[in-house]
Amino acid sequence: MLDLVAYGAFFLTIALTYAVICLGLNVQWGQTGLFNVGIAGFVAVGAYTSAILTTPATADRFGGFDLPIIVGWIGGGLATAFVTFLLGALTLRLRSDYLAIATFGAAVVIQLCMLNLVPLTGGPFGIGFIPRPFGALAGNALAFGLANFAVIAVLVLVVYLVLERLVRSPWGRVLRAIREDETAARGLGKNPVRYRLEAFAIGGFVMGLGGAAQAHFIGFIAPDNYLPILTFQVWAMLIVGGSGNMRGAILGAVLVWGIWAVSGSVVSSVFPADQQARAAALQIVLIGVALCAVLLIRPRGILGEVRIVSRHLLRDARPKASAKERPDHA
Amino acid sequence: MIEPEPDPHSDPVLEARALQMQFQGLKAVDGISLALAPGEMLGLIGPNGAGKTTMFNMLAGSLVPTSGQIMLNGQDVTKDRPEQRLGSGLGRTFQIPRPFAEMTVLENVLTGARDQAGESVFHTWFSPRRVAREEHQNVEKARHLLDFLLLSRLEGEPARVLSGGQRKLLELARLLMADPSVLLLDEPAAGVNPSLLEVIMERIQALNAQGKAILLIEHNMDMVSRMCSRVFVMAAGRELAQGAPSDVIRDPRVIQAYLGDAA
B82/B104 same-domain check: no
Contacts of B121 in chain A (CB under 8 A): 166, 171, 198, 202
Residue B167 belongs to a domain: no
Yes or no: say if A328 and A300 are a contact pair by the CB < 8 Å rule. yes
Contacts of B86 in chain A (CB under 8 A): 187-189
pLDDT exceeds 60 at position A321: no
Q: How far is B62 from chain A (nearest CA, A)?
A: 8
% residues pLDDT > 70 (chain A) = 95
Q: What is the pLDDT of residues B141-153, one digit of tens each?
A: 999 999 999 899 9
Q: How far is B149 from chain A (nearest CA, A)?
A: 17
Overall average pLDDT of the A110-124 stretch? 94
* d(C-alpha A155, C-alpha A207), whole Å: 13
**In chain A, how many H helices and how many E strands?**
14, 0
**Please, which pLDDT band fits residue B72 given cuts at 50, 70 and 90?**
very high
Q: How far is A11 from chain B (nearest CA, A)?
A: 34
Nearest to B230 by CA among B251, B214, B245, B211: B245
How far lies A50's CA from each of A16, A43, A67, A82, in Å?
Answer: 18, 11, 9, 14
Structural domains of chain B, count: 2
Q: CA angle B67-B70-B72, nearest 5°?
A: 170
Among B161, B188, B206, the domain-final residue is: B161
CA atoms within 13 A on the CB side of A4: 1
B74/B116 same-domain check: no
> What ipTM does the predicted assembly reach?
0.83
Q: Any idea what DSSP says for residue A192?
A: H
Contacts of B114 in chain A (CB under 8 A): 189
Closest residue in B to A180 (Cα) is: B100
- pLDDT reported for residue B2: 46
Yes or no: say if B57 and B63 are a contact pair by the CB < 8 Å rule. yes
Residue B211 belongs to a domain: yes
pLDDT exceeds 90 at position A308: no
The pTM assigned to this predicted structure is 0.86
Nearest to A173 by CA among B143, B119, B142: B119
Compute the residue count for chain B: 263
Residue A95: phi and psi, rounded to 5, are -65, 160
Antiparallel, parallel or unpaired: β B14-23 and B182-186: unpaired
B75/B126 same-domain check: no
**Please, which pLDDT band fits residue B165 given cuts at 50, 70 and 90?**
confident
* d(C-alpha B154, C-alpha B110), whole Å: 14
Q: CA angle A177-A183-A188, nearest 5°?
A: 65
* d(C-alpha A79, C-alpha A45), whole Å: 7
Overall average pLDDT of the B117-128 stretch? 94
**Please, which pLDDT band fits residue A175 given cuts at 50, 70 and 90?**
very high
B184/B76 same-domain check: yes
Yes or no: say if A43 and A111 are a contact pair by the CB < 8 Å rule. no
Contact assignment for A170 to B118 by CB distance below 8 Å: yes
* d(C-alpha B104, C-alpha B161), whole Å: 10
Lowest mean pLDDT among A206-220, A244-258, B138-152, B213-227: B213-227
B134/B257 same-domain check: no
Q: What is the pLDDT of residues A43-100, one digit of tens each?
A: 999 999 999 999 998 888 887 899 999 999 999 999 999 999 999 999 887 777 888 9
**Please, which pLDDT band fits residue B261 given cuts at 50, 70 and 90?**
low
Residue B89 belongs to a domain: yes
* d(C-alpha B214, C-alpha B90), whole Å: 10
Yes or no: say if A63 and A55 are a contact pair by the CB < 8 Å rule. yes
B254/B195 same-domain check: yes
Q: CA angle B181-B148-B57, nearest 5°?
A: 40
B109/B89 same-domain check: no
Nearest to B257 by CA among B215, B221, B214: B221
Closest residue in A to B97 (Cα) is: A184
B192/B258 same-domain check: yes
Domain region containing B123: 100-161
The domain that contains B254 carries what CATH number?
3.40.50.300
Contacts of B102 in chain A (CB under 8 A): 176, 180, 305, 307, 328
B83/B211 same-domain check: yes
As beta bridge partners, residue B23 has B26
* d(C-alpha A191, C-alpha B124), whole Å: 18
Residue B76 belongs to a domain: yes
**In chain B, how many H helices and how many E strands?**
10, 10
Nearest to A299 by CA among A257, A238, A242: A242
Residue B169 belongs to a domain: no
Residue B1 belongs to a domain: no
* d(C-alpha B205, C-alpha B202), whole Å: 5
- pLDDT reported for residue B198: 86
Contact assignment for B119 to A305 by CB distance below 8 Å: no
Yes or no: say if A211 and A22 are a contact pair by the CB < 8 Å rule. no
Q: Pick the residue of B92, B107, B185 with the most A CBs within 10 A to test the interface with A by mutation.
A: B107
Residue B2 belongs to a domain: no
Residue B240 belongs to a domain: yes
Q: How far is B254 from chain A (nearest CA, A)?
A: 32
